[in-house]
Amino acid sequence: HFNVEAYEKENRVSATLVEGKIGFIYKCDNASKKVLMAPGQKLVYDSKDSKVQLYATSGESEIAWKEGKIIFRNTPLEEGLRMLEKRYNVEFIIKNNRLKGDSFTGTFTNQRLERILEYFQLSSQIRWRYLDSPDITDEKSKIEIY
Protein backbone atom coordinates (compact mmCIF):
# COMPACT_ATOMS: atom_id res chain seq x y z
CA HIS A 1 0.00 0.00 0.00
CA PHE A 2 1.43 3.33 -1.05
CA ASN A 3 0.58 6.80 -2.32
CA VAL A 4 2.40 8.68 -5.09
CA GLU A 5 2.05 12.36 -5.91
CA ALA A 6 3.50 13.48 -9.24
CA TYR A 7 2.09 16.41 -11.16
CA GLU A 8 3.26 17.66 -14.54
CA LYS A 9 3.72 21.29 -13.48
CA GLU A 10 5.53 20.55 -10.19
CA ASN A 11 9.18 19.74 -9.56
CA ARG A 12 8.32 17.58 -6.54
CA VAL A 13 7.46 13.90 -6.60
CA SER A 14 6.55 12.21 -3.35
CA ALA A 15 5.87 8.62 -2.41
CA THR A 16 4.53 7.41 0.93
CA LEU A 17 4.86 3.74 1.80
CA VAL A 18 2.33 2.21 4.21
CA GLU A 19 3.00 -1.48 3.57
CA GLY A 20 5.42 -3.46 1.37
CA LYS A 21 8.55 -2.11 -0.36
CA ILE A 22 9.27 0.56 -2.95
CA GLY A 23 12.47 1.12 -4.87
CA PHE A 24 12.72 4.71 -6.13
CA ILE A 25 15.18 5.15 -9.02
CA TYR A 26 16.28 8.62 -10.15
CA LYS A 27 19.07 10.31 -12.07
CA CYS A 28 21.70 12.35 -10.26
CA ASP A 29 24.93 13.63 -11.86
CA ASN A 30 24.33 11.51 -14.98
CA ALA A 31 24.09 8.33 -12.91
CA SER A 32 21.11 6.30 -11.74
CA LYS A 33 20.58 6.07 -8.00
CA LYS A 34 18.12 3.93 -6.07
CA VAL A 35 16.50 4.46 -2.69
CA LEU A 36 14.75 1.53 -1.00
CA MET A 37 11.83 2.60 1.15
CA ALA A 38 10.46 0.84 4.21
CA PRO A 39 6.90 1.11 5.57
CA GLY A 40 6.35 4.36 7.46
CA GLN A 41 8.54 6.44 5.16
CA LYS A 42 7.79 9.32 2.83
CA LEU A 43 10.21 10.12 0.04
CA VAL A 44 10.29 13.57 -1.55
CA TYR A 45 12.25 13.98 -4.78
CA ASP A 46 12.99 17.43 -6.21
CA SER A 47 13.65 17.02 -9.94
CA LYS A 48 15.08 20.53 -10.18
CA ASP A 49 18.16 19.71 -8.09
CA SER A 50 17.92 15.87 -8.12
CA LYS A 51 17.69 15.66 -4.32
CA VAL A 52 15.88 12.99 -2.34
CA GLN A 53 14.75 13.32 1.27
CA LEU A 54 13.21 10.60 3.44
CA TYR A 55 10.86 11.34 6.32
CA ALA A 56 9.18 9.16 8.92
CA THR A 57 5.36 9.23 8.64
CA SER A 58 2.31 7.32 9.74
CA GLY A 59 0.94 7.84 6.22
CA GLU A 60 -2.34 9.06 7.71
CA SER A 61 -2.41 12.49 6.09
CA GLU A 62 -1.00 11.27 2.76
CA ILE A 63 -3.77 8.69 2.21
CA ALA A 64 -6.64 10.58 3.90
CA TRP A 65 -7.84 11.85 0.50
CA LYS A 66 -9.24 8.37 -0.18
CA GLU A 67 -11.77 8.97 2.62
CA GLY A 68 -12.47 12.57 1.59
CA LYS A 69 -10.37 13.99 4.45
CA ILE A 70 -7.63 16.57 4.64
CA ILE A 71 -5.35 16.02 7.62
CA PHE A 72 -2.75 18.55 8.72
CA ARG A 73 -0.23 17.40 11.37
CA ASN A 74 2.06 20.35 12.00
CA THR A 75 1.94 20.83 8.22
CA PRO A 76 3.86 23.84 6.84
CA LEU A 77 1.64 26.48 5.22
CA GLU A 78 3.01 25.97 1.70
CA GLU A 79 2.45 22.21 1.83
CA GLY A 80 -1.05 22.68 3.28
CA LEU A 81 -1.96 25.16 0.55
CA ARG A 82 -0.65 22.75 -2.08
CA MET A 83 -3.01 20.09 -0.68
CA LEU A 84 -5.92 22.55 -0.79
CA GLU A 85 -5.05 23.62 -4.36
CA LYS A 86 -5.41 20.04 -5.57
CA ARG A 87 -8.62 19.37 -3.64
CA TYR A 88 -10.43 22.61 -4.53
CA ASN A 89 -8.85 23.38 -7.94
CA VAL A 90 -7.59 26.82 -6.91
CA GLU A 91 -4.24 28.58 -6.97
CA PHE A 92 -2.78 30.31 -3.91
CA ILE A 93 -0.45 33.28 -4.09
CA ILE A 94 1.43 33.99 -0.85
CA LYS A 95 2.21 37.69 -0.54
CA ASN A 96 3.55 37.67 3.04
CA ASN A 97 6.75 35.61 3.39
CA ARG A 98 6.45 35.71 7.19
CA LEU A 99 3.53 33.29 6.87
CA LYS A 100 5.70 30.62 5.23
CA GLY A 101 7.01 29.64 8.67
CA ASP A 102 3.51 28.86 9.97
CA SER A 103 2.24 25.30 10.27
CA PHE A 104 -1.16 23.83 10.97
CA THR A 105 -2.79 20.87 12.68
CA GLY A 106 -6.38 19.82 12.06
CA THR A 107 -8.69 17.46 10.21
CA PHE A 108 -11.28 18.55 7.67
CA THR A 109 -14.01 16.49 6.05
CA ASN A 110 -16.33 18.00 3.45
CA GLN A 111 -15.79 21.60 4.62
CA ARG A 112 -15.94 24.38 2.08
CA LEU A 113 -12.58 25.94 1.25
CA GLU A 114 -13.69 29.26 2.76
CA ARG A 115 -14.35 27.53 6.11
CA ILE A 116 -10.86 26.00 6.17
CA LEU A 117 -9.31 29.38 5.34
CA GLU A 118 -11.33 30.91 8.19
CA TYR A 119 -9.66 28.45 10.59
CA PHE A 120 -6.26 29.43 9.19
CA GLN A 121 -7.20 33.08 9.71
CA LEU A 122 -8.23 32.50 13.34
CA SER A 123 -5.14 30.50 14.24
CA SER A 124 -2.43 32.50 12.45
CA GLN A 125 -3.80 35.90 11.54
CA ILE A 126 -3.68 34.91 7.89
CA ARG A 127 -5.82 37.04 5.65
CA TRP A 128 -7.04 35.95 2.26
CA ARG A 129 -9.11 37.15 -0.66
CA TYR A 130 -10.18 35.96 -4.07
CA LEU A 131 -8.44 37.77 -6.92
CA ASP A 132 -10.44 38.84 -9.94
CA SER A 133 -9.08 37.54 -13.21
CA PRO A 134 -9.46 39.56 -16.40
CA ASP A 135 -9.40 36.28 -18.33
CA ILE A 136 -12.76 34.55 -18.04
CA THR A 137 -11.26 31.34 -19.43
CA ASP A 138 -9.12 30.83 -16.30
CA GLU A 139 -9.85 27.34 -15.02
CA LYS A 140 -8.75 28.05 -11.45
CA SER A 141 -9.72 30.75 -9.02
CA LYS A 142 -6.75 32.60 -7.57
CA ILE A 143 -6.60 33.32 -3.83
CA GLU A 144 -4.12 35.74 -2.34
CA ILE A 145 -2.76 34.93 1.13
CA TYR A 146 -1.44 38.03 2.89
Residues 90 and 132 in one domain: yes
HSE of 3, CA atoms in CB hemisphere, 13 A: 17
- CATH code for the domain of 138: 3.55.50.30
User: Above 90 in pLDDT, residue 29?
Assistant: no
Selection from 74, 127, 73 nearest residue 99 by Cα = 127
Residues 51 and 24 in one domain: yes
User: Containing domain of residue 116, as a range?
Assistant: 68-145
Cβ(3)–Cβ(63) under 8 Å? Answer: yes
Query: Both 57 and 72 in a single domain?
Result: no
pLDDT in tens, 103-139: 999 999 989 999 999 999 998 889 999 998 877 777 8
Same domain, 129 and 89: yes
d(CA 77, CA 104): 7
Which of the four pLDDT bands, split at 50, 70 and 90, describes residue 7?
Answer: confident
Chosen domain end from 38, 61, 84: 61
Return the number of other C-beta atoms located less than 10 Å from residue 29's C-beta. 6
Across the chain, what does the average pLDDT equal?
92
Number of domains in the chain: 2
